[in-house]
């Protein structure tokens, strides 16, 4: 039986890819409805959808890289899966909120920034606490083990 290397990262990457497709599709929908083929045409609806998509593309790679590096360094953990899942949900809420409905944009932004800051700080601290033995060392993934 094979072991999946970095399962949280793998599932997160898949979920983020689907969110990216969904956000891109939403841009296409409003472009068609507003008859704006290239650029934003000065149309606020197109601009909002484009920014929601671009904003996702600006944040998702950093979060995904941090999730992957943390998982690789310290192993799979429930808290990391929850944080990655919250990020994905926050980006969906943000995308909907960019249409101007409710507090989705604000909530999505806050959760995104807290996620990125928290993962970033943990990534900085992780090597320091790992040397002291307070972080269990992750087993070598079978894909990386030398036979």
How many domains are contained in the chain?
Answer: 1
Q: What is the pLDDT of residues 59-103, one digit of tens each?
A: 999 999 999 999 999 888 999 999 999 999 999 999 999 998 789
Alpha-carbon distance values, 108 to 11, 36, 46, 86 (Å): 20, 27, 19, 10
120 assigned to some structural domain: yes
pTM of the predicted structure, to 2 decimals: 0.85
Domain CATH number, residue 49: 1.20.120.550
Residue 135 within any structural domain of the chain: no
pLDDT band at 2 (very low <50, low <70, confident <90, very high): low
**Between 75 and 143, the higher pLDDT residue:** 75
Sign (positive or negative) of CA dihedral 28, 99, 18, 66: positive
**Alpha helix positions (H), 35-101:** 44-74, 78-97
Q: Measured in whole angstroms, how far is the alpha carbon of residue 140 from the centre of its chain?
A: 25
pLDDT digits (tens, 9 = 90+) for 20-30: 999 999 999 99
Domain span holding position 92: 7-129
Task: Please return the burial class of 77, using the count of CB atoms within 10 Å of its CB with bins 0-12, 13-18 and 19+.
Answer: middle
The overall average pLDDT reported for the chain is 89
pLDDT of residue 1: 47
């Amino acid at each position: 039986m094979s072991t999946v290397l970095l399962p949280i990262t793998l599932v997160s990457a898949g979920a983020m890819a689907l969110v990216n497709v969904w956000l891109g599709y939403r841009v296409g929908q409003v472009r068609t409805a507003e008859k704006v083929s290239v650029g934003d045409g000065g149309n606020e609806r197109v601009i909002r959808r484009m920014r929601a998509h671009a904003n996702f593309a600006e944040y998702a790679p950093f979060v995904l890289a941090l999730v992957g590096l943390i998982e690789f360094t310290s192993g799979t953990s429930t808290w990391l899966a929850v944080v990655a899942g919250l990020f994905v949900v926050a980006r969906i809420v943000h995308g909907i909120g960019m249409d101007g409905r409710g507090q989705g944009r604000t909530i999505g932004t806050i959760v995104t920034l807290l996620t990125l800051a928290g993962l970033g700080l943990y990534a900085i601290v992780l090597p320091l606490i790992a040397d002291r033995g307070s972080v269990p060392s992750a087993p070598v993934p079978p894909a990386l083990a030398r036979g």
